[in-house]
Amino acid sequence: MNPNPNPQPEPQDASYLRPRDYYRDPRLKSPILAGLLSLMPGLGQAYLGFTRLAFIHGLSAAAFIALMSSNRLGGLEPFVGVLMTFFWLYNLVDAHRRALLVNDLVLRTEQPELPDGLGQLSSAARIGFGLAFLAFGTMSLLSTRFGVSFEWLLKWWPAAFILLGLWLMVKALRDRAPRA
């Protein structure tokens, strides 16, 4: 005979995988929903709160699409297509994995340190985004309102990636340099 008529079930380690738990604690995120949202690269990461990463993934997907539709790859379409497919799959897996990690963090701590948000951008990043929006808006206004031609941009837009790469390398080297 069982001495305890109403035995309590033992808690499971992966209890946050049950869908009903997402309704109990709004901090928990659905890994499946994060993966599905990542069919559009970056949306799964944005759902989880990784807004910078979401922005980077969205821009990367847009760059792949622009590159594939440019008809200027000179026979490299299969290689770029494989890279784009790998990126898309990586994006899906990354969103699912990050949702599991966020849930694990929420369940282990009282006040979890959640991922970065747009409100936490550094002042340099905000200035950079502000300058980029100002430049894009000014160029759009000059083109549509005053008929200024920006055809030279069609030939020179890849230089922006070179400048961004150089800036990132210089910044990384400065960060590695010992502080006095």
137, 145 Cβ separation under 8 angstroms: no
Residue 161 lies in a domain: no
0.85 exceeded by the pTM? no
Residue 8 lies in a domain: no
Q: Between the CA of residue 10 and those of 7, 44, 96, 166, what are the distances in Å?
A: 9, 32, 26, 55
Q: 17-61 pLDDT, tens per residue?
A: 555 555 567 778 889 999 999 999 999 999 998 888 898 899 889
Q: What is the number of domains present in the chain? A: 1
Q: Which own/partner contact pairs does 153-158 have at CB distance under 8 Å and 24+ positions apart? A: none
User: Would you place residue 63 in the very low, low, confident or very high pLDDT band (cuts 50, 70, 90)?
Assistant: confident
Note down the domain range covering 52: 14-120
Q: 88-130 pLDDT, tens per residue?
A: 999 999 999 999 988 888 877 655 455 555 445 667 777 777 7
Residue 133 lies in a domain: no
Give the integer Cα–Cα distance in Å for 180 and 176.
12
Residue 179 lies in a domain: no
